[in-house]
Homo-oligomer: A and B are copies of this chain.
Amino acid sequence: MKAKVYVTLKKGVLDPQGKAVMGALQSMDFSEVNDVRIGKFMELEINASSKEAEEARIKEMCEKLLANTVIENYRIEIE
């Protein structure tokens, strides 16, 4: 089974990478850009018996490794 995990910085957490990309875009004449925030996007391929079991396991992976839950949110999408 395939699953997608989106990890984004929580609101209020400074995003220097996003700020750098925004600065670069603005200096390239994309002055209409007001804000850029950058996160991670992971595609996992997993052996699982059911969608529910898979989602529970991926949640565990996110809590333990894939996301830093102090500063990041995550969202799981099962296909």
Spell out A's residues near B (CB within 8 Å). Answer: 6-8, 18, 21, 24-25, 28, 30, 32-48, 57, 60-61, 64-66
Interface contact A33-B21, CB-CB below 8 Å: no
Interface contact B25-A61, CB-CB below 8 Å: yes
Interface contact A39-B38, CB-CB below 8 Å: no
Tallying the copies of this chain within the complex gives: 2
Alpha-carbon separation in the docked complex, A43 to B36 (Å): 6
A60 cross-chain contacts in B, Cβ below 8 A: 30
A65 cross-chain contacts in B, Cβ below 8 A: 21, 24-25, 28
Given contacts A47-B32, A61-B30, A65-B24, contact A42 B40 (CB under 8 A): no
